[in-house]
């Protein structure tokens, strides 16, 4: 199993999507493909 990195970023924006994108940039993970993970 590989390394699991935990990062944190916060941001505000005029829309929820803009806030989310800015938070990804603040956490320096905006250039990665994020996939949803489910335990189901």
User: Which CATH number among 3.40.190.10, 3.40.50.300, 3.40.50.1100, 3.30.60.30 corresponds to the domain 1-39?
Assistant: 3.30.60.30
Which residues have CB under 8 Å from 26's CB, separation 6+?
9, 10, 11
Q: Any idea where the domains of the chain sit in the sequence? A: 1-39
Q: Whole-prediction pTM value?
A: 0.69
Each residue's pLDDT tens digit, 1-40: 799 889 999 999 999 999 989 999 999 998 887 777 777 6
- In b/e form, how buried is each residue of 21-31, taking b as 16+ CB within 10 angstroms? ebbbeeeeeee
Check residue 40 and give its pLDDT.
Answer: 67
């Amino acid at each position: 199993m590989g390394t699991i990195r935990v990062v944190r970023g916060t941001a505000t924006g005029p829309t929820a999507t803009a806030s989310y994108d800015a938070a990804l940039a603040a956490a320096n993970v905006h250039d990665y493909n994020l996939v949803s993970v489910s335990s189901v």
